[in-house]
Structure 1
Amino acid sequence: MTRRIGARVVADLLDGYGVTHLFLVPAILRRTLAELERHHPHITTVVTHGEKSAAYMADGYARVSGRPGVTAAQVVGALNLAAGLREPFLAGSPVLALTGGRSPATKFRQVYQEVDDLPAFDPVTKFNATIDDADRFPDMLRHAFRVATTGAPGPVHLQIQGNEGQLDTEPTDVEPVVEPGFARVPAVRPTPDDESVTAVLRLLAEAVRPVIVAGGGVRHSGAGAELVALAESLGIPVATSANGKDTIPGTHPRSVGVVGTYSRECANQVVARADLVCFIGTGTGGMTTHFWAVPPAGTPAVQIDIEATQLGRNYPLRASVVADAKAALTRMLALASRHRQPDRTAWLAEVEALRAAWRARYRAVLTSDAVPIRPERIAGELTAGLPDDAVLLVDTGHAGMWLAQFHDVTAAGQSYLRSAGHLGWAFSAGIGAKCAAPERPVVVFTGDAGLYYHLGEIETAARRGVNLVTVVNNNHGGNQSRRGFDRAYGGQGTERSRELWTYREVDFARIAEEMGALGIRVDRPGDLPTALDRALHAGRPVVVDVHTDIEAAAPQPVTGP
């Protein structure tokens, strides 16, 4: 055995698991950073302006690469990092968080910045533990990667002794043994048994108006092609959760769009009309089902999920399959020929009529030349203007509503990543996504309310040469909240209540220029295609500041046919 410093072991392990970027607020693991520079200089350290944004960058990196994103913070920033882990926890994204921890020699003596942070990580991680001996670095890091990438993926946290993780300066004899099979998602693909698959196929064959609802588990599994093939083979329309939107192109004839609360109207109509719903890789949560109203309670359902605990959680099931989505869909395709499907001509015609009616209803706003610009027009231009290999990241709130309803993924090679519920996520996550896929165009869609959260990270992108494009729906307010405040005020807001969701007019293009990025201001809809094309070819970070109509509100979700 070779005696070495703990920091060298940590550096070698990160390299062995294929880590290419580390997102952090210093100071944490200083000696490890030095060992990375000496022995693994290809691993890039991205210093951010906040722990929460560092966690979001690691999350964006993980969702694009399929490898765990790594983030770190010293003990005083640990709670900020924990807050950032809420997003990958809710989205099922593999993130490894490393923080400093208290030292036994100074516990309970009111040492500077002493707080017991460990319990804060329990609700937002799959695994939360401490490393208090340098000999434990290899086995604890191995276990962290193993937990993050198996089953439904998710974040893990290791608290390393010392407020800055100084345990990495201690010597150890242990070897940095790596388990390469747990370096990416899915690390393990549980296969289904034929009896369960046959039960699902039999029910699908008996249904007259079936629909598939595909979720983030399908995208984690890389099962988009199998999903499309099954939908085509069985003649079944497909709705998706927001996290599963890129599992089937929105332009495909079987696609009806995103279902639930942030949804496309025709998707909710189709799912509400179905006589059997097949959930694949979705937790059937409140947003995907509009709080369990779409489909309505009592609708016959089947479910396929890698986690047995998800099966039947919100809808009683006629049949279920515990398996990786790709493995399950592959086996369904192989066995489908044994189950003759009914004539679904009438059902598919009804679905197409609902799709066509939706497009006709909103064609005017999708192509509107109104000034201030309509947000639907931005969504339409993103559909038309993004390359076939683009990555699009979308914030929650109104940004998520506009894009869920009015944007279409147009190619199997495009990725669509949406916040699971945290405003401000998209911009920081976009930096991480671009780090993971520097060869792909990466575009962020957010509002001014979302950009304000981590505005300082424009400087991070410029400093590190992370050339993502950020499109800002700048309406000088957070007008998603308007309806709620108006209701609270008896149906009609006041000047004071308007102050709760409006801001000053700010030119983000000028701010971007001051921070070292390219800023492009757009005031007229006809300039959007040129601005987007210029941004995609700029070779530097770009903020496209689109000034839009504050009175524009996204349509409310429907719950019936």
Structure 2
Amino acid sequence: MGDRIDGARYMAETLHRQGVSHVFFIDAIMRRTLVELEALGIERVLAHSEKSAVYMADGYARVTGRPGVCMAQSVGAANLAAGLQDAYLHRTPLIAMTGRKPPMFRHRNAYQELDHAPLYASVTKYHAEVETAEQLPFLLPQAFREATEGTPRPVHLDLAGLQAEIIETGTVEQDPLEPHHTQLPARRSPPSGSEIEAAAAALARARQPVIVAGGGAMVSRAQDAVRRFAEALQIPVATSTGGRGILPTDHELHVGCVGLYSAPHANRILHEADLVIFLGCHTGDQVTCNWTIPGQATPIVQIDVDGSEIGRNYPAAVGVLGDPALAMEALLAACGGQEPRAAWAGEVRARVAAWRESMAEAMASEASPIRVERLCHEITKALPENGVLVADTGYSTIWAATLIDLPHPGQTFLRAAGSLGWSFPAALGAKCGAPERPVVCFTGDGAFYYHLSELETARRRNIPLVTVVNNNSAFGQGLVNIRNIYGGRPGNQDEIIRFGPTDFAAVARSFGVEGIRVEDPSEIAGALSHALSLGRPAVIDVVTDAEPRAPEPWTL
């Protein structure tokens, strides 16, 4: 029998063994554990809201490939759950821990107490109630297994005690088990030979195939395997927004993002394909334009680590169950005798080049207020070769996914899965996880308002994040829609869609953060260069025009 230690020490040592370097939290939770974490060198990042803590853990997990850890006391459990939606949709491994009142307080109108299980049911893949410290050696390692195996997603442990103090002060036999499930992918499952043969046969019949790489391909770290496969067979590569970066965006076979957040040429190319290989892509409505591009009659090969996803939205798909990187390598070997699709690749390359040329004038615009196309162009030029770009949802993702290039293999793109305001705290978490890499947050003003308080966290922790605010004093994405609904009807349209104006550079300075206001497009490059060189947090407030529309997707 091993020595017995208290629950707080056990949790701290387990997180340390699992390779966790930061935890993100709102007081008051697991205070004894937090003290033990300091002794083990784990950074404790106090946020200003539970959602911010989750988003920070999410950004940390996405950039490191390791599970992120966030926590809140019982009364904050509902807010913590709300923040998990984006991580669940993006399939991020998170360990969320909350306190809850002990059994004799439950179902008795206890102060600030709700049943937590229903709150977490739709935003986690695993939920467990920890009643005693003796359960920790079983449930805490299981949480890491559940978060990282198969399709990664958040998990939740509900710890007895308002601040989890019942679990922390209980005792447990020290567990000497070696760490597991510390990094994605948790394990690599090779595909079966028969499934690879069927996929190769489907590819042999295709003259105009296209790969659509999703977030699962990025989790698999399939970049090199995809590049070798695509180059050998001259097959164009498109991506979901979560798969952006699978190839450098200036690669001759790179198509761009497809679906509802795409440039017009990308969906046209996908529509004309006579075979689509979905690689680690869950074929949702956004990436397929409501399952119309590609159409249901288009031959499909679907490669995924989760067999339940294969055929979910394209029932006739030829399925390959296995790790995307290993599957690409096996499929390339099986297709060794096939002719490269050079003519098709050349046609696609010409269309992509034409799209880029069509945007050149706007990207060089000297207009004031500044056009967002110009801002995107300047971010492309300024982002270092190992930089991380974190974009918010809506127009921020569309602008970034279509007009900010990532030409270097060492660059990373992270984007919100739909939660407005996610990017700023997520970028802080990403910078914590990758302190040696420059991190740039690209957000609209509507999103930045959500978590302005985390400017204080950035200053207090000296997190040298560069935040670029596309400040147009509106929810710019909705302008046309609001106008169309009004038609000729009199009324105050601005009341629904506009706000500000706010000088976010001045706001940043009031928090003790470097603030730079940019109203002339010629000043963007200098502002970015200065902010990236500072070694401390900075906000670049760029006054832009709300009227120009982001690229619109081509649809049927």
Could you report, residue by residue, the CA deviation over 1:264-296 in whole angstroms, capped at 9, with x for unpaired residues?
A: 222111101101111000000111112112212
- The yes-or-no answer on 1:417 pairing with 2:411 is no
Q: For the residues of structure 2 that align with 1:278 and 1:119, how far apart are their CA atoms?
A: 37
Q: CA deviation at 1:425?
A: 0.5
- The yes-or-no answer on 1:10 pairing with 2:6 is no
- The yes-or-no answer on 1:349 pairing with 2:350 is no
| Contact 2:262 2:551 (8 Å CA) reproduced | no
Percent identity of paired positions between Structure 1 and Structure 2: 46
SS across alignment from 2:424: helix
TM-score under structure 1 length normalisation: 0.97
Q: For the residues of structure 2 that align with 1:293 and 1:318, how far apart are their CA atoms?
A: 15
- The yes-or-no answer on 1:407 pairing with 2:404 is yes
Aligned counterpart, 2:525: 529
Q: For the residues of structure 2 that align with 1:94 and 1:177, how far apart are their CA atoms?
A: 24
Aligned counterpart, 1:435: 432
Aligned counterpart, 1:190: 189
Q: For the residues of structure 2 that align with 1:64 and 1:438, how far apart are their CA atoms?
A: 11
Q: Which deviates more from structure 2 when the two are superposed, residues 160-169 or residues 504-513?
A: 160-169
Aligned counterpart, 1:472: 469
Q: How does 1:263-278 map to 2 (within 5 A)?
A: 263-278=262-277
Q: Which deviates more from structure 2 when the two are superposed, residues 377-386 or residues 411-420?
A: 377-386
Aligned counterpart, 1:503: 499
Q: For the residues of structure 1 that align with 2:462 and 2:177, how far apart are their CA atoms?
A: 31
Could you report, residue by residue, the CA deviation over 1:231-287 in whole angstroms, capped at 9, with x for unpaired residues?
A: 101110000000000111110000010000011222111101101111000000111
SS across alignment from 2:285: coil
Q: Which deviates more from structure 2 when the two are superposed, residues 87-96 or residues 171-180?
A: 171-180
Q: For the residues of structure 1 that align with 2:478 and 2:75, how far apart are their CA atoms?
A: 33
Aligned counterpart, 1:340: 338
Could you report, residue by residue, the CA deviation over 1:474-504 in whole angstroms, capped at 9, with x for unpaired residues?
A: 0011111122222322x35755222111012
Q: Which deviates more from structure 2 when the two are superposed, residues 216-225 or residues 354-363?
A: 354-363
Q: CA deviation at 1:125?
A: 0.5
Aligned counterpart, 2:300: 301
Q: CA deviation at 1:176?
A: 3.2
C-alpha distance 513-208 of structure 1, shift in aligned 2 (>3 A): same
SS across alignment from 1:321: strand
Aligned counterpart, 1:481: 478
TM-score under structure 2 length normalisation: 0.98
Q: For the residues of structure 1 that align with 2:175 and 2:471, how far apart are their CA atoms?
A: 49
Could you report, residue by residue, the CA deviation over 1:459-488 in whole angstroms, capped at 9, with x for unpaired residues?
A: 111101111110010001111112222232
Structure 1 segments, 4+ long, off by >4 Å, are 492-495
Q: For the residues of structure 1 that align with 2:307 and 2:484, how far apart are their CA atoms?
A: 41
Q: CA deviation at 1:404?
A: 1.2
SS across alignment from 1:471: strand
SS across alignment from 2:427: helix
SS across alignment from 1:399: helix
Q: For the residues of structure 1 that align with 2:60 and 2:502, how far apart are their CA atoms?
A: 30
Residue identity in the other structure for 1:105: M
| Contact 2:474 2:498 (8 Å CA) reproduced | yes
Q: How does 1:198-217 map to 2 (within 5 A)?
A: 198-217=197-216
Q: For the residues of structure 1 that align with 2:496 and 2:367, how far apart are their CA atoms?
A: 26
- The yes-or-no answer on 1:541 pairing with 2:527 is no
SS across alignment from 2:286: coil
Q: For the residues of structure 2 that align with 1:369 and 1:5, how far apart are their CA atoms?
A: 64
| Contact 1:22 1:69 (8 Å CA) reproduced | yes
Aligned counterpart, 2:37: 36
Instruction: Note the aligned Cα RMSD (angstroms).
Output: 1.3
Aligned counterpart, 2:364: 367
Residue identity in the other structure for 1:344: R
C-alpha distance 269-51 of structure 1, shift in aligned 2 (>3 A): same
Q: CA deviation at 1:347?
A: 1.4
SS across alignment from 2:288: coil
Could you report, residue by residue, the CA deviation over 1:190-234 in whole angstroms, capped at 9, with x for unpaired residues?
A: 110111112112211220110000000011111111111111011
Residue identity in the other structure for 2:364: T
- The yes-or-no answer on 1:517 pairing with 2:518 is no
Aligned counterpart, 2:313: 314
| Contact 2:84 2:154 (8 Å CA) reproduced | yes
C-alpha distance 327-45 of structure 1, shift in aligned 2 (>3 A): same
Q: CA deviation at 1:318?
A: 4.4
Aligned counterpart, 1:552: 548
Residue identity in the other structure for 1:11: A
Residue identity in the other structure for 1:20: S
Aligned counterpart, 1:245: 244
SS across alignment from 1:124: coil
> Where does the alignment leave 5 or more consecutive residues of structure 1 unmatched?
none
SS across alignment from 2:319: strand
Q: For the residues of structure 2 that align with 1:544 and 1:255, how far apart are their CA atoms?
A: 30
C-alpha distance 476-89 of structure 1, shift in aligned 2 (>3 A): same
SS across alignment from 1:160: strand
Aligned counterpart, 1:258: 257
| Contact 2:20 2:68 (8 Å CA) reproduced | yes
Q: For the residues of structure 2 that align with 1:275 and 1:177, how far apart are their CA atoms?
A: 54
Q: For the residues of structure 2 that align with 1:427 and 1:8, how far apart are their CA atoms?
A: 32
Aligned counterpart, 2:457: 460
Residue identity in the other structure for 2:338: R
Q: Which deviates more from structure 2 when the two are superposed, residues 367-376 or residues 480-489?
A: 480-489
Q: For the residues of structure 1 that align with 2:8 and 2:299, how far apart are their CA atoms?
A: 55
Q: For the residues of structure 2 that align with 1:328 and 1:179, how far apart are their CA atoms?
A: 29
Q: How does 1:324-339 map to 2 (within 5 A)?
A: 324-337=323-336, 339=337
SS across alignment from 1:173: strand
Q: For the residues of structure 2 that align with 1:546 and 1:508, how far apart are their CA atoms?
A: 9
- The yes-or-no answer on 1:388 pairing with 2:389 is no
- The yes-or-no answer on 1:379 pairing with 2:380 is no
Residue identity in the other structure for 2:523: D
| Contact 1:265 1:405 (8 Å CA) reproduced | no
Residues paired across the two proteins, number: 555
Q: Which deviates more from structure 2 when the two are superposed, residues 447-456 or residues 360-369?
A: 360-369
C-alpha distance 494-439 of structure 1, shift in aligned 2 (>3 A): farther
Q: For the residues of structure 2 that align with 1:154 and 1:51, how far apart are their CA atoms?
A: 18
Q: For the residues of structure 2 that align with 1:454 and 1:179, how far apart are their CA atoms?
A: 38
Aligned counterpart, 1:20: 21
Q: For the residues of structure 2 that align with 1:318 and 1:499, how far apart are their CA atoms?
A: 48
| Contact 2:161 2:167 (8 Å CA) reproduced | no
